Amino acid sequence: MALAPLMQWICDRCGDVIKTPEDGWVHWRRDKDRRVHAIELLHHLKASPKGGMRGCYPEPMQQDAHLNVMLGPRGIVRLLSMMDVGTYHDPALKHVGGVDDVRNWTEVFRRLHVPYYEEARLYFDRARADGHLDGINEVALYLPDTLKDIVDAYGE
């Protein structure tokens, strides 16, 4: 597939490549307690291969941001604020844990901020089945060198 690390992603709705940060959109929902869940990376309407009035957008749209504002240091701050707004805005810890689905949040964080993760994750099952990941620990799997090795071994 050969994705450009931290510059291209796979749309969670249509499965096609989001070719540039400007072509992407981040969508999430909030539950009745305002906790974040169901974060998705999508094509921006103007770049969606689906066309039409909604493109790759789910219905109904709730919370969203342009993908390019979710990258780099500003993007890290935005994503962390979903988890915890910080002591300045929440000294009594009333809103810590603002993410309902931590696994989904972590997956999106890695997709947006860890080089080679977006493409390597596509090959995890094959690499596991081949024994390529035998003995790897919970940190080493997500290091850029390991992820690049997976992409080099299994990418097309």
Cα-Cα end-to-end distance for the chain: 6
The per-residue pLDDT for range 100-140, each reduced to its tens digit, is 999 999 999 999 999 999 999 999 999 999 999 999 999 99
* Distance from C-alpha of 41 to C-alpha of 125, rounded to nearest angstrom: 21
In this model, does residue 92 exceed pLDDT 90?
no
pLDDT reported for residue 32 = 85
Please tell me the total number of residues recorded for the chain in this structure: 156
